[in-house]
Amino acid sequence: MSRPTLLLSSFIALVIATATPPPELYSPLITSKIRTVAQGESNPATYPQYTDSTVGKWQYFQPDIWTSSFFPAMLYALNTRAKLCGTGDGDTWVELGRQWSTGVIPLETKNDVGHDVGFLSMPFVEEYYLNPTNQTATTAIQAFVADLDARFSPVVGCTRSWDTSDSDNFEVIIDNMMNLELFFVGETLTGNHAYRQHAISHADKTMQNHVRADGSSFHLVTYNATNGNVIFQGTAEGYADNSTWSRGQAWGLYGFANMFLHTHDPNYLMTARRMANYFIQNIPSGGVMPWDFNAPLEPARPADSSAATIGATGLLLLAEMEMSLSPANTSGRDFWTNAAVQILADTTSFAWRPEFQSLLSNGTVNNRASPPNNSTGIIYGDYYYVRAGNELIGLELANCSLGLTQ
Ligand code: GLY
């Protein structure tokens, strides 16, 4: 494969001092908080999604929402951490991960969460990687990928996000770049190559219509379902149609790096770089991740720590992709890893909360809700914080004993 031509040199100049991973990423509080929640499993299962904003107590929800699988997936991520750190308690985390996945199983046949099957399938994908013959995992993946594929339109070239009352409006949100991993796992499991083609088609259309020339992104693009034409580019969760919702930007940069992982198409690498560059350059000095990069500072602009941890994990994946090039792009790797570590350090400074049940505070679930839902711990913010910590160990940029120093 020829090396993509986008020059990193133009923005390498912006790299600041080498950042240091925060010890909190490996704090014993991570496992103790998560173990306490995991051992208090409710029956029938409900799932932590976000906390209140004052004392940080988890709010629990029925399984049929998009966030249910983040907690079980985090239990699997602690198995990964146990292996990386040699703590010997990986099996316990896997067992808890299995227990906490069971409440999601009914959604395989009663799928009223629509497009979010990529997130819902995560713990089953983790189980599948550990144990490829596990029937629970393979059944779940096959069911969820079939659900996703049923949402694909050959006319539009994308999977549909929301089921609107006007079926001619085919809405696609940038978040759905995160579903595409499920298509690749589904292809591996079933041999159905249409899944790969649909992932590629969805990513190509998203590259074309969601990503702006400056690397920023629209959250929502609406297509005409009958002829595939774009009829709206704007937002549902962000500040304004022409703004950039930070979590959407994070989903996008991660999603395009992941598309490069699976296809080695240099267009995806360049798109991931453009989105990552916009993400990094638009974090205000001080490092507090805004919920939308273009939201006004006054009245006080809420942060979104979840956008920060998703973005940091995406940047670490992008760094790995730079190293998969031939020859390996070490300066690119260093640039993205440094940015990721800086984001994690800044986010830890403003959002690490020992007194909360969650690891982090200052997430924004939905700032456009009435009343706005912000300033909380969020399960996916915590999940990607743990994932980023694991990735840094894998990249030999941190070690498990760091957490003992705080
Ligand atoms: N729809 C996923 C999110 O709110 O980030």
Give me the pLDDT at residue 111, please: 58
What is the pLDDT at residue 95? Answer: 96
Q: Is the CB of 175 under 6 A from ligand 1?
A: yes
Say what the pTM is: 0.95
Dihedral sign from CA coordinates of 114, 115, 116, 117: positive
Ligand 1 pocket, mutate which of 174, 247, 309, 368 (most atoms under 8 A from CB): 247
| Ligand 1, atom nearest to 365 Cα | 4
Is the pLDDT at 167 greater than 90? The verdict is: no
* Mean pLDDT value of segment 275-302: 97
Which of the four pLDDT bands, split at 50, 70 and 90, describes residue 165? confident
Is 274's C-beta closer than 6 angstroms to any atom of ligand 1? no
| Closest approach atom of ligand 1 to CA 119 | 2
Q: 43 pLDDT band (50/70/90 cuts)?
A: confident
pLDDT for 17: 52
Average pLDDT, the chain: 93
Q: Are 208 and 164 in contact (CB under 8 A)?
A: no
Peptide linkage before 371 cis (omega within 30 of 0): yes
- pLDDT mean over 298-322: 97
Give the integer Cα–Cα distance in Å for 67 and 47: 8
For ligand 1, what atom is nearest to the CA of residue 366? 4
- Domains of the chain (ranges; CATH) run 23-395 (1.50.10.10)
∠ at Cα 332 (327, 334), nearest 5°?
115
